[in-house]
């Protein structure tokens, strides 16, 4: 009987030990399955969100470029009006048209680009800044030259002054073209 008792106790202990081991293994297995399920869920959510984030980024890029194109079209129109005013030679009209062009430039500078287009926006702003400086300098120069009573301006400097202004204007236009190329080529 002793042997049977010992065998029964040992068997009971073995069964208990095996049951505990099995439960621990099941807990680990369930933990691993849970962890695997969590990893899968996170992977799916990352892959599911990535297209949404990319779509959102593309939407923001398109919205910014649309605003920019609208403002650039307005600037082009106002610069054409400014050129016409210069041809007519009326200082008041020149100042008015330059002011309109400057407002377009300010609108471009005030746009808020998405992160992916900030460098391109900086290029547009650099071009606009040069155009703004050229327009302001031209209006000031034209006012000095057209004012017959202002003898402080040396008219012999006019060709050099106008060349500097034209060079600054051309630089601004080139910077805008470079920004356009960067935007197109991405």
Residues 16-62 pLDDT 10s: 544 554 455 545 544 445 444 444 444 555 455 456 777 788 888 88
User: What is the model's pLDDT at position 10?
Assistant: 46
pTM equals: 0.67
CATH numeric code, 2-185: 1.20.120
Residues 125-174 pLDDT 10s: 999 999 999 999 999 988 888 876 667 778 888 899 999 999 999 999 99
User: What is the model's pLDDT at position 40?
Assistant: 44
Segment 62-73 shows an average pLDDT of 90
Distance of CA 109 to the CA centre of its chain: 12
Segment 8-20 shows an average pLDDT of 50
């Amino acid at each position: 009987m002793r042997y049977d008792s010992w065998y029964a106790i040992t068997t009971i202990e073995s069964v208990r030990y095996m049951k505990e081991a099995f439960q621990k293994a099941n807990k680990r297995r369930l933990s691993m399955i849970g962890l695997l399920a969590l990893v899968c869920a996170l992977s799916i959510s990352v892959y599911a969100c990535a297209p949404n984030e990319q779509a959102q980024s593309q939407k923001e890029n398109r919205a910014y470029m649309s605003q920019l194109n609208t403002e650039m079209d307005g600037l082009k129109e106002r610069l054409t009006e400014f050129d016409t005013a210069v041809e007519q030679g009326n200082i008041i009209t020149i100042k008015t048209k330059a002011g309109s062009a400057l407002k377009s430039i300010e609108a471009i500078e005030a746009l808020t680009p998405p992160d992916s287009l900030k460098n391109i926006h900086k290029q547009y702003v650099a071009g606009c800044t040069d155009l703004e400086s050229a327009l302001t300098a031209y209006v000031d120069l034209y006012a000095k030259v057209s004012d017959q009573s202002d003898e402080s301006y040396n008219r012999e400097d006019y060709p050099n002054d106008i060349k500097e202004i034209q060079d600054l204007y051309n630089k601004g236009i080139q910077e805008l073209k470079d920004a356009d190329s960067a935007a197109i080529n991405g």
